[in-house]
Structure 1
């Protein structure tokens, strides 16, 4: 007899959190890899996916933990170093129902297997870049308030030479039992003091796994020490290989400091890896012939980038794309996003003109095509050319770049670089919402809210705004505040104030403006003209047109 508890939870997850459900019959050539993992083809195509089993009937499973984790999976799906979650499926027999996550397939397997097979072909540059990718992925988790706490080479994967991070805790929470061998095998990657739940556990794992194993290609702790639990708990560490660069070994040592408070934060790990990579490129550059360095620059008036500069910019601008996409998906407006871009330039001392020149010369991937479009749209490092921006974003979108799709949404909506086309706006927003982007859900909700190529449907708009808000989208939180204020059927002044305050605290200029309005008109709070003026002023300074008009009226 099947229990209905897991089934009810699955329904809550699917219908309440925009997690897609697919029938198990959509999968074929299903091959069992281990006890809880299957490899399969999807929808009678060549696309391969991983099916990960998890047990919802376990009494220790917390519903909110599962829902929050799946929400997070959807929220970070854009990040290149995160395993993509496509949805959920299930299969059943008379005795039980098995639930499976549908996840991205990685052709390089686990990090452990990848290093075994490719170690001799990996330069230190390759290892640095893998280390940086993993540190960035863990930093993203930490910035979202998530501690991984289970980093080891078995749940870090490689796809086309790119790190893919998986298993944020759901699968380990729903399957506590592990073999004694596996427990000991992965213990070297865990902080010996983790039993006190120190927040620097992930930093320790980064040191043991990312820096040691990527450097040596060998597991942390050799075979003869593998089962000595006391060695691990006493803080035993491997010695670095003699040819390991000093800066790298120093970072390894700092990450494994026995005192958690003395370990670097993840942002410091990322920053130090950036310096290490930059120094590597500089050393590599100095080894080249002086004449060869300048051969192609003789007689040129334009500023040409050196090999070091090019490699540095490749790596830094790739990081800019990821940060910009993350902040855009959170619902930040164009002025705030532009400020993020220039703050990034200032922090890494990037010249906008050099960045634009680099992007112009490196149009071999959709990220750089998309960013070049963004630069043209906003006049970054060049004159504003919105038509060129539109064409570049169109090209990047055709290559599968979802950020470019967002740019096209705004171009078609505002008629910038192209004619307005609300039918395309609705279609694009629907596609982005289907992919689970919080800003895609918010954009589709806005279409239903004001009637963009469709009839106004306040219920659909509200539901979509709520889903996006649950994923942390600050514009959606503001839109909910507006709906509670203007839609008669759900009018609630207290919720208007609370949601306006929430979105304002997270930096939404619309929310800041709305909070000023609440204080001006006494919406859910006592009238306070001084606070109204202050919030209007802040929003106006951030480019909010409504706030600028309100200030004139005060």
Structure 2
């Protein structure tokens, strides 16, 4: 087993608890949840989570000692079992008629709930009572530790849901990760990257009594020794973000854009989402997790959390994130509607010569959103966006040429820009283009007559 300078979580809390802030506690809880998420993502159930086998090395959580399923179901060493009573899913102690309860992922969630309480208190659960059959009965009848004073309400709510007596009422590990991350991000927007092999000791799995893990161990070793997997994930995320950028920069129809994105990457959505939850060290990763939250892809739609993620990535100069910050302010998604801040967000992008920002600035000038109406400015920004390939900007520029808004009327230039938009894929512009061609033909007939 790899050396852990902080020892077990139990020892670490004993030695350092008085110096821990709530940010530190949230960080420990988040790392713990991420580590369990990595296991569940590989179809591994730990079954033995307690503060004695969760290790801390350089303030990083590591999980060790797999295999309680073997010990609980086959061992006669009851002393060990009683020593970890507070962490075991109470369903395991239910009297059954030949069908003993099998510990599962929801059992790990129960243990996580107890560990979250332990992190908040710095104390062993039920430290003042004997770990015996009486405690088993009390826990089975839903007795739990009381929340510690000054613990955030959201944190109490989370661990209470985790240690619910009914497994179906407990959240998934992904939900736990997401909720801890949301609370942690309020005080610290930069979250360290947590790779699966940073949180698991494969030697501990090998030495476990649980022989049924052998096939999964081999898969985990491949993950641990090969750089191809994280590299391929990063490459895939970068490709998705680039695809989204291209679709938005050209300002394709929203429904068409979302359909293209889902059609191209649908088979990987679940895998990508789970990976993103524990990999937030690059702007693209932060943005894409926000994108999933914004549109409810592989998770419930959460505009507020999406905005926080976009804001985080935008502060790292991520163009798409800056664009979505603007959208959130424009429509009041996840944040209070603010036209001025929306305009400022888009203007920053426009000044960097990106079409998606130039189009929005032109639109805001045209519609008088967050800025005084100015048709000449609208024309100028639409023209820049159109020249950079934005399909809707081409149509809007054509319309301004047709109506003489911000420029002189010019039917030929109007036709030119609508035709450009059609030829580059915007079939919605075809109807207006046909009308403009008819208008020009009528004018030509009038000249002849």
Quickly name the TM-score band, shorter chain normalised. 0.3 to 0.5
Looking at secondary structure, tell me which structure has more strand per residue: 1
Q: Which has the higher contact order (CA 8 A, sep 6+)?
A: 2
Looking at secondary structure, tell me which structure has more helix per residue: 2
Q: Which has the larger radius of gyration?
A: 2
User: TM-score, normalising length from structure 1?
Assistant: 0.38
